[in-house]
Amino acid sequence: MAFLAPALPYIAAATAAAGAYVQYREGQTAKKIGKQQAASRREDARILRENAEFEIEQQRERVRRFKGTQKVSLLASGVQLEGTALDILADTEIQAQLDRDIIRRNADLAARGLETQARISAFTGSEAATAGSIRAGSTLLASAGKFSKSKLLASR
């Protein structure tokens, strides 16, 4: 095994270089995953808002039909569409608008949460890439120091 002794510093350096490359690639992979997660969260937020608008339109249609039923009921009972009858219809519309506002607000709050998660995912991925590069650099520097020391000792 003594014949391997001169090659050991080179083997150690090659191993350190391979390790540094793996650390760098892990960071880059984490960055890519962070970007993909961020894109997914942004898409989820867009879909959430889109679904809310659809729900609002569905609610608007239900209220339109309900107000029509109210009018028919009022007229069938002999009530003129004035005064209290109009107040009932107006109150129905006011409540419907409040419901639509709540749907929109809840969707907006949830979408903002998803957008925040997207920013966090992107930031976390970017930081992981930086950390991977730093770890790789540290590994290479430590290995270079050991290599130099071993070459210095071997020359004595």
The yes-or-no verdict on residue 40 having pLDDT over 90 is yes
Sign of the C-alpha dihedral computed for residues 108, 114, 117 and 122 taken in this order: negative
pLDDT in tens, 65-99: 999 999 999 999 999 989 999 999 999 999 999 99
DSSP state of 13: H
- Residue 83, SS3 per DSSP: coil
Give the whole-number percent of the chain exceeding pLDDT 90.
69
Show me where the domains of the chain are located: 12-155
Long-range contacts of 112-116 (CB under 8 A, 24+ apart): 112/45, 114/41, 114/42, 114/44, 114/45, 114/48, 115/41, 115/42, 115/45
For the full predicted model, state whether its pTM sits above 0.75: no
Tokens of 98: 């409040």
What pLDDT, on the 0 to 100 scale, is given for residue 11? 80
* Confidence (pLDDT) at 141: 86
Q: What would the mean pLDDT of 109-130 be, rounded to a whole number?
A: 95
* Four-point Cα dihedral 59, 60, 64, 65, nearest 10: -30
Mean pLDDT of 31-49: 96
Do 67 and 89 contact (CB within 8 A), yes or no? yes
> What is the average per-residue pLDDT within 3-32?
84
**What's residue 144's pLDDT?**
79
Mean pLDDT in the chain? 90
- Given this model, what pLDDT does residue 73 score? 94
Other Cβ atoms within 10 Å of 31 Cβ, number? 19
| End-to-end Cα spacing for the chain | 21
Band (124; pLDDT cuts 50, 70, 90): very high
Q: Residue 153: its pLDDT value, please?
A: 62
Q: How confident is the model at residue 152 (pLDDT cuts 50, 70, 90)?
A: low
